[in-house]
Homo-oligomer: A and B are copies of this chain.
Amino acid sequence: MSTRVTVAVDAMGGDRAPGEIVAGALQAAGELGVGVLLVGREEEVTPLLPAGGATDGVEVLDAREVVTMHDEPAAAARTKKDSSLVRAARAVREGHAQAMVGAGNTGATMAAALLKMGRIRGIARPAIAVPIPVPNGERPQLLIDGGSTVDCAPEWLAQFARMGREYARTRLGVDEPRVGLLSNGEEPGKGDELRKEAYPLLEKVEGFAGNVEGRDLMHGTVDVVVTDGFTGNVALKSLEGALRAAVALVFGVLDSTPEAREAGKVITPLLLAAAAEIDPDTTGGAALLGIDGVCVISHGASSARAIVNAIRVAAECVDTDVVGRLKEATRAG
């Protein structure tokens, strides 16, 4: 990376904060050559740094309040002005950092980003682009919206499609990403009212390949899957439920007989390596698109590795000027 990007990280957000967040920030600063601004309660963050102080590439910005998972998102973003989350967003607006990463209350992270950075002109609502792993070395898919805007108008889905397609170019490195509308059948007439009204608008989006179904997720039928934030959240968490069930089933089998346990000694390490490829910690953070700035959201249980990946995604978004490219791409729509 040419000029060093600084990423503001909410050090207090997530189930494993601040320990894993700080560990991830240190690792990112070392491995990626990015600057990290750790935002949070100084007396909790600083002792976690080597030799108890600031390290090369890592700075601490004190913020006294913490937004919890139980806080009402919009209210927290508005009233907890001295929270690590709001201060991280403000650091971007004021130019102390070029991107933010949060692993805490997702709704509040979106609200804070929206409040401090504003929306891209012409974009009605922001949307989260979530990478979905596709096994066996295939490139991931992007699902947009993963949970930002739960009640959608048809036109917003068309905007999500344009943003998702542009983002897929950078993030997935696909020249001409194929876009599918998540529906309850492949035929054009399928869907609820929202899908039926959105379909003709999506037909005007380059690369639109028609309806796709839930079973196309984790399979490379299309690169970008467009849906409202409610359905997107349900679909992503359904994938998670099924994968957890599959893991329980497979490891149950590997522990079911003495012979299976013996065979498991060979199989288990290979399985874990293959599973790591589709682990959300590896596939990385989700970008909040439509905001006039870079905000990457990592899941609540983020480990240090997940934070490294989220910081990497954030820095790449800055380096490739994703926001500028989204402005271009959606102006056309």
Question: Would you call the interface of chain A mostly helix, strand, loop, or mixed?
Answer: helix
Q: How far is the CB of A118 from chain B (nearest CB, A)?
A: 25
Contact partner of A244 among B219, B227, B237, B262, CB < 8 A?
Answer: B219
Residue in B closest to A146 when the chains form the complex, CB atoms: B184
A231 touching B233 in the complex, CB below 8 Å, given contacts A249-B274, A257-B270: no
Q: Once the chains are docked, how many angstroms separate the CA of A216 from the CA of B242? A: 9
Interface residues of A in 191-244 (CB under 8 A from B): 191-193, 195, 213-219, 227-231, 233-244
Most chain-B CB neighbours within 10 Å: which of A134, A217, A245? Answer: A245
Q: Quick check: B252 and A250 within 8 Å, CB to CB?
A: no
Q: Are B260 and A266 in contact (CB under 8 A)?
A: yes
Query: Is the CB of A30 closer than 8 A to any CB of chain B?
Result: no
A187→B235 CA distance, assembly (Å): 18
Chain A interface category by residue count: 35 or more
Contact with B along A107-134 (1 / 0, CB 8 A): 0000000000000000000000000001
Q: Which of B135, B147, B254 contacts A245 (CB 8 A)?
A: B135
* Among B72, B136, B253, B266, contact of A274 (Cβ-Cβ < 8 Å): B253
Q: Which chain B residue lies CB-closest to A184?
A: B233
A248 to B227, CA, bound (A): 26
Is A31 located at the chain interface by the 8 A CB criterion?
A: no
Query: Contact at B254–A274, with CB atoms within 8 Å?
Result: no
In the complex, what residue of chain B is closest to A135 when comparing beta carbons? B249
Known: A184-B230, A229-B184, A231-B231. A246 touches B243 (CB 8 A): yes
A253 close to B234 (CB less than 8 A): no
What distance in Å separates the Cβ of A227 from its nearest Cβ neighbour in chain B? 8
Q: Given A248-B135, A249-B275, A249-B278, decide whether A214 and B230 contact each other with a Cβ distance below 8 A.
A: no
Indicate if A2 sits at the interface (CB-CB under 8 A).
no
Mark out the residues of chain A between 238 and 288 whose CB falls within 8 Å of any chain B CB in the assembled complex: 238-250, 252-254, 256-257, 259-260, 262-264, 266-267, 270-271, 274-275, 278
